[in-house]
Amino acid sequence: MSRFPYTFLGLAALLGLACGPGKHSVQRVSVPLRTDHSYGNAEQVRTTHLHLELAVDFNKKRLSGTATHHIEHKSTDTMMVLDSRGLVIEEVLLDDGSSANFRFGIEDTLFGTAVLIPLKPETKKVHLRYHTDSTAEALQWLSPVQTHDRQHPFLFTQSQAILARTWIPLMDRPDVRFTYSAKITCPKELLALMSAANPQQRNDSGIYHFDMPQPVSSYLMALAVGDISFKSLDSLSGVYAEPGFLDSVAWELADMPNMIKKASALYGDYPWGRYDVLVLPPSFPFGGMENPRLTFATPTIIAGDRSLTSLVAHELAHSWSGNLVTNASWNDFWLNEGFTVYFENRIVEAVYGKDFADMCAELEVGELERTLERMMREAPKDTRLALNLKGRNPDDGLTDIAYIKGFLFLKHLEQLVGRHRWDDFLKEYFRVYSFKTINTEAFKDFLHEHLFQTAKEVVYAQLKDWMYGEGLPAQAPKPASERMKQAREAALKYQTTRKPDPLMAKGWVTQQYQHFLRNMPKDISTAELDALDQSFGFSKSGNAEVLCDWFTLAARVWYRPAFAPMEAFLVRVGRRKFLKPVYEALSATPKGLELGRAIFRRAKSGYHSVSAGTIAEILGVKS
Ligand SMILES: [Zn+2]
């Protein structure tokens, strides 16, 4: 049923009569959001296929070309409303060759500008000629020195959550799925890749064609252009990276084909054809982004010991939870991420064993507890799985709640009904909701229909507490592992002896060091940190997870000898997860805040806007 506000339609029609082509810049109309985060009126008109033809200009830092929407009319309304932010739209043509008298909505700094395109009842295609501008937050243009090999520039996109609209005019809401194709023209010495069927080597024309025949949501639109090479891992998977570290990437991710087999055995065949991973330059703000067919990943997973590849398990799991079955809105983000953390944990268990999986879970639950402690004070409502992010940046929902509380909820259900029934249920869930979107309420109904067999189970499931309650229900599962126990005992022993014992850490993996560092005494001194550094060589570690915990501790205790490597780390790495705790620890004291601000001034040109924005907020400065 249409919820399109009457007043808006009337106003738009009036403006349509009142102004001619070219006057749209002065004729802005007040357009209400159709969902909590999008102007797109998919209830009236829906994109079924999108065709892009874009040229990549590194000098102007601009994408320019056309976006053609193949559309389906859902009602008799003849207005199509798209999302855009910072896009310069030059012309809109309909498929009969006529020029559409398009208008813009009033600009909103977060949601951008609605593009109102009057259609004819018979219109099947809408063709927009446009270019991006310098504010396009989805695009990160790297100069050669910001790349690994330092030879060529690099471009990558990050569309999630609502940044696709900064490089493509479209309905930027996850419940609109469409297939897409593209023709990308880039400098001849570079290779272009998308979240689609991809080339495996450079050609001489600099022109690449892409096809994504399965319907995806806008936040999964992705493009990368750079000096990129490919190495196959098996017939269905491989890795892309700059040539200078392609071999180490391939070595680190050698378990990928096995992960794909294990994942398919769990919850159904891999649904997207190929699965490849592109390892990006260090400024990529996230661990990974599950762009279909081509995960974008941070180089910080290249630890040299394959200890951080659970991140690939996570992005791979998104091929089912998120990409195949998608959250209907960003309020239901936990349906993407909680399921993915659960699925990731199952893949890790299948490949590396139960204790390793439990160890990862235990460490994450520790993180959730710390997050909850803070959030229950500052924003208790945001500790619900089903969020209300109306009018807010959906990135506010990108917390441990969606990921870890979501994971624990599913773990709780697994324990309630037993793994066998739970796995059958999940297979059914992925089958029924394939290439569809789902919200929290619908998932609750699906549980009632397909999982619970007795009234007692319904009571024990405590769905309302989990989905709509704040904090963590008392009966939440508590994962425990032998490896974590060792790390905990080592930390306890240290609290009494205050002497490092490297023998205790023999054979430890990354996560054990992390747990150890996170459980250091509150009153630890700089001399004691010095002794720890001498024994374990934390400051010189090549492992970003360990470095992050170590520098956070060093910043808190004001351990100066670690500051030079800490600054080098903060300048080199752009992954928000690693930047945030270190800058937060620094900002806890006035002198730390001063140091943090000085480092940020030097480092920020290398950060993606997603990271720069978060850090600027922590430091109370402009990004
Ligand atoms: Zn994820």
106 CA → ligand 1 middle, Å: 33
Does pTM top 0.85 for this prediction?
A: yes
Among 218, 158, 242, CA closest to 38: 218
314 CA → ligand 1 middle, Å: 6
Q: Which amino acid is at 6?
A: Y
Residue with tokens 């600099």: 206
Residues with CB under 5 A from ligand 1 (ion): 337, 340
480 CA → ligand 1 middle, Å: 23
Catalytic residue ranges: 315, 403
Q: Are 252 and 309 in contact (CB under 8 A)?
A: yes
151 CA → ligand 1 middle, Å: 31
Strand-pair category, 207-217 with 177-185: antiparallel
Among 233, 217, 550, CA closest to 394: 217
Among 209, 110, 100, CA closest to 166: 110
* Token pair listed for 432: 């029924």
- 18 or 546, which is more confident? 546
Q: Are 46 and 71 in contact (CB under 8 A)?
A: yes
Among 298, 351, 361, 347, CA closest to 319: 347
The answer on pLDDT for 4 being more than 60 is no
The answer on pLDDT for 86 being more than 80 is yes
> Looking at residues 539-560, what average pLDDT do you find?
96
- 305 or 142, which is more confident? 142
> Looking at residues 13-42, what average pLDDT do you find?
69
Q: What's the pLDDT score for residue 78?
A: 87
- The DSSP H or E segment spanning 444 is helix 440-450
* Per-residue pLDDT reduced to its tens digit, 570-608: 999 999 999 999 999 999 999 999 999 999 999 998 888
Q: What's the pLDDT score for residue 95?
A: 97
290 CA → ligand 1 middle, Å: 7
Cis bond upstream, residue 461 (ω within 30): no
The answer on pLDDT for 13 being more than 80 is no
Lowest mean pLDDT among 15-29, 133-147, 413-427: 15-29
> Looking at residues 77-96, what average pLDDT do you find?
96
Residue 1: which pLDDT band, with cuts at 50, 70 and 90?
very low
- 431 or 609, which is more confident? 431
We find that the CATH architecture of domain 326-468 is Orthogonal Bundle (1.10)
Q: Are 148 and 299 in contact (CB under 8 A)?
A: yes
> Looking at residues 11-16, what average pLDDT do you find?
37
- Classify 506-619 by CATH class: mainly alpha
Residue with tokens 């670690």: 562
What are the structural domain ranges in the chain? 6-225, 228-319, 326-468, 506-619
* Token pair listed for 305: 């010991």
Q: With respect to CATH, is domain 6-225 assigned 3.30.450.40? A: no
Lowest mean pLDDT among 85-89, 253-257, 507-511: 507-511
156 CA → ligand 1 middle, Å: 18
Q: Which amino acid is at 534?
A: Q
Strand-pair category, 223-226 with 237-241: unpaired
* Per-residue pLDDT reduced to its tens digit, 470-526: 999 998 999 999 999 999 999 999 999 999 999 999 999 999 999 999 999 999 999
139 CA → ligand 1 middle, Å: 20
Cα gap 560→567, rounded to integer Å? 11
* Token pair listed for 282: 């260090």
* Per-residue pLDDT reduced to its tens digit, 106-158: 999 999 999 999 999 999 999 999 999 999 999 999 999 889 999 999 999 99
220 CA → ligand 1 middle, Å: 12
Residue with tokens 């402690």: 373
The answer on pLDDT for 363 being more than 50 is yes
Cα gap 237→255, rounded to integer Å? 11
SS (H, E, C) 90-133: EEEEECCCCECCCEEECCECCCEEEEEEECCCCCCEEEEEEECC
334 CA → ligand 1 middle, Å: 10
Cα gap 363→359, rounded to integer Å? 6
Q: Domain 228-319: give its CATH code.
A: 3.30.2010.30
| DSSP secondary structure code for residue 197 in this structure | B
The answer on pLDDT for 9 being more than 80 is no
